[in-house]
Amino acid sequence: MPVPGHVGSDYERLRPDFRVIADPYVTGKRVMVVPAIRPDVAIVHAHLADQAGTLLLEEREDDALLAQASRVVIASAERIVPTDEIRRAPSGVRLESLHVAAVVEAPRGAHPTAVRGAYDLDEPHLLAYMAAAHDDVTFKTYLDRHVFGPVTWDDYLAAARPA
Amino acid sequence: MTPPSESETMAVAISREVRDGDTVAVGTLAPVPAAGALLAHLSHAPRATVLIFNHEDYWPFRQGSKEFYDYAQRGNFDLFFLSGGQIDRYGNLNLITIGEHDHPTLRFPGGAGAAMLYYMARRVILFRMDHTPRIFVERVDTVASPGTSPADIVRLGGPWKAVTPLCVFRFDQTTRMLAVESIHPGVSPEALQRRTGFPLELGAAPAVTPPPTREELALLRGRVRESLAKTYPRFAETVFSSP
């Protein structure tokens, strides 16, 4: 895909997969082209989903684009609802189920980040994560408590609650 | 009235660069440019189109960042703001690595849209909230986006000004280098040179940035602060003086 700019930057040197070609159409000037990214798997979190995997995604993010670029899409959603509720939603981006391989209900599933209109980011948690990430020992403690320890989603939410 | 803080002086300097009718966009992590754009919109540039990343009143895009980038790529922005881990006298920006690229001493998050926006926005104001010789360098270690380009590349714009806590630079289109336009009140030419990593031509009596007026400060500390709090709550709370 062509991208404006970039030519003359160190991306030319650092990214041999970024090529510079002559614009074959209008200007004839040099333009950078980059390979499309095709992720194997995209994991997206939706406002709503139905049982077939139709998603209502956040309209200010690029989740719908990411999902369509990827070979396999796994979705979580704040709520699983009847299809009608997704059709009637006043905002959000609808992604048809044919793009989606699996869907699971996960209320507060964006934690510790936010879902617009539903809940804010968990700032104390993110600050604790940043502090823990400074060294391997404290980071392992974090992972054990929040990633490897919880067995169910309820376990995760319980561990995420401030002590 | 409390005298202006560094951030307030910068926001006012930025607001004066906004022309009425401009389409001016402000990206992420840029509360001072956002304050400057809002101040301009509420004073001398009521017909400007102001876009502030994810601000509920100033961000119309509903098709993700793709819509924003596509809109920018069409050359629709008259004014945009960029920063860099290093900025050099030629207007080159480094958002990639410091030191040897494969064994860096510091790695930044990457250029993101800067390598496109620096070319496709008509005027770009560079900004930094600190001004040190490690940031304003002779040559950046890695060029994420160059200040100037040869004529055989599509480039609609580029560096226009640079605003820091110490001064305003303008980008001289003839020398293709940053030149001091004005020094902020209370900053000595010696201090400015000491804190800049490349030689400056300051002359006998360099111009002084006109200080914020009472009206500008009142707007900043009132309606601008109120609006900015919707997207930068902590900044709005801590950076502005009381009205």
pLDDT tens column, A62-116: 999 999 999 999 999 999 999 999 999 999 999 999 999 999 999 999 999 999 9
Say yes or no for a CB contact (<8 Å) between A14 and B142.
yes
Q: Which residue has the higher pLDDT, A162 or B182?
A: B182
Smallest Cα distance from A27 to chain B, Å: 8
Say yes or no for a CB contact (<8 Å) between B120 and A3.
no
Q: Tell me, yes or no, if A16 comes closer than 8 A to chain B by beta carbon.
A: no
Average pLDDT over residues A15-31: 95
Q: Whole-prediction pTM value?
A: 0.94
- Residue B243's pLDDT band (cuts 50, 70, 90): low
pLDDT above 70 covers a percentage of chain B that reads 99
- Residue A23's contacts (CB-CB under 8 Å, 6 or more residues apart) are A2, A29, A30, A31, B154
Contacting residues of A for B73, CB less than 8 Å apart:
4
Q: What is the ipTM of this complex?
A: 0.91
Asked if the model's pLDDT at residue B242 lies above 80, the reply is no
∠ CA B222-B226-B231 to the nearest 5 degrees?
145
Give B 129-188 residues with CB within 8 A of chain A. Answer: 142-146, 149-150, 152-155
Say yes or no for a CB contact (<8 Å) between A4 and B96.
no
Question: Mean pLDDT for chain A?
Answer: 95
∠ CA B212-B171-A12 to the nearest 5 degrees?
130
DSSP annotation string for chain B: -PPPPHHHHHHHHHHTTPPTT-EEEE-SS-HHHHHHHHHHHHTT-TT-EEEETT-TTT----SHHHHHHHHHHTT--SEEEE--SEEETT--EE-SEEEETTEEEEE-S--TTHHHHHHHSSEEEEE-S---TTTEESS-SS-SB-S---TTB----EEEEEE-SSEEEEEETTTTEEEEEEEPTT--HHHHHHT-SS-----SS--BPPPPPHHHHHHIIIIIHHHHTTT-HHHHHHHSPP-
What is the reported pLDDT for B111? Answer: 84
Q: CA B210 to CA B236: how far, in whole Å? A: 24
Question: Mean pLDDT for chain B?
Answer: 95
Element (H, E) at A161: none
Smallest Cα distance from B211 to chain A, Å: 36
Say yes or no for a CB contact (<8 Å) between A9 and B120.
no
- Residue B215's pLDDT band (cuts 50, 70, 90): very high
What is the reported pLDDT for B161? Answer: 98
What is the reported pLDDT for B33? Answer: 98
